[in-house]
Amino acid sequence: MVDRKLAERELPDSNTGDRAVHRRAHSDYRWDGVEQLPYKEDDRALFKSITRQVLFSDSEMHAELRYFEVAAGGFSTLERHEHMHAVLILRGSGHCLIGGEVRSLETRDLVTVPPLTWHQFRATKGEPLGFLCMVNALRDKPQLPTAEDLARLTADPTVAEFLRGGL
């Protein structure tokens, strides 16, 4: 199955190269030797106020660990894909949409995003929402919802309110 996905994989984030054994945490959820990758604001408003840091990515490891942080009021892209996400909330609180379900999230909660399941994370509670996300190194590209997909999702009033940013 990995082979089948090879053709359409996203390139794994680059290795740190020298394999630094110990990288110290800073007080602001930054780390020695880890670049913070700001997502540019998207004209289509697919996401808002989210940054990404790749904490672990190595050719010997079959998965990567990333840290995403959404500023208060921000959100990640609403998307789905064949690969899974394994998420641990590291900082703050918020809400997520997983499939048809909206969940309130607190620090250290665990979230599993199954294959081909629509998902989005939102910092809905006036504070940042920071989360670790484990993901296969070889993985397919995210899909965005069509107008039909959105109509199906927003048929549920709670989901509609979540996607409007009304929570």
Query: What residues act catalytically?
Result: 133
- The binder of a second copy chosen from 50, 70, 78, 98 (CB under 8 A): 98
- Please give the DSSP secondary-structure letter assigned to residue 31: B
Interface with a second copy includes 101 (CB under 8 A)? yes
Interface with a second copy includes 89 (CB under 8 A)? yes
8 A C-beta contact, residue 113 and residue 136: no
Rounded to whole angstroms, the Cα distance separating 33 from 24 reads: 9
Comparing C-alpha atoms, which of 128, 126, 119 is closest to residue 159? 119
Pick the stretch among 68-76, 90-98, 121-129, 153-161 that binds a second copy (CB under 8 A). 90-98
Instruction: Quickly list DSSP for 57-87.
Output: --TT-SEEEEEEEEEEEEEPPPBB-SS-EEE
> What would the x/- binding string for a second copy be over residues 114 to 153, using CB under 8 A?
xx----------------x-x-xxx---------------
Rounded to whole angstroms, the Cα distance separating 138 from 8 reads: 9
- The binder of a second copy chosen from 37, 110, 155, 160 (CB under 8 A): 110
Interface with a second copy includes 83 (CB under 8 A)? yes
Residue 47 identity (one-letter amino acid): F
Which residues contact a second copy by CB under 8 A?
A: 2, 19-25, 29, 31, 34, 55-56, 58, 60-63, 65, 83-84, 86, 88-90, 96, 98-99, 101, 103, 105-115, 132, 134, 136-138
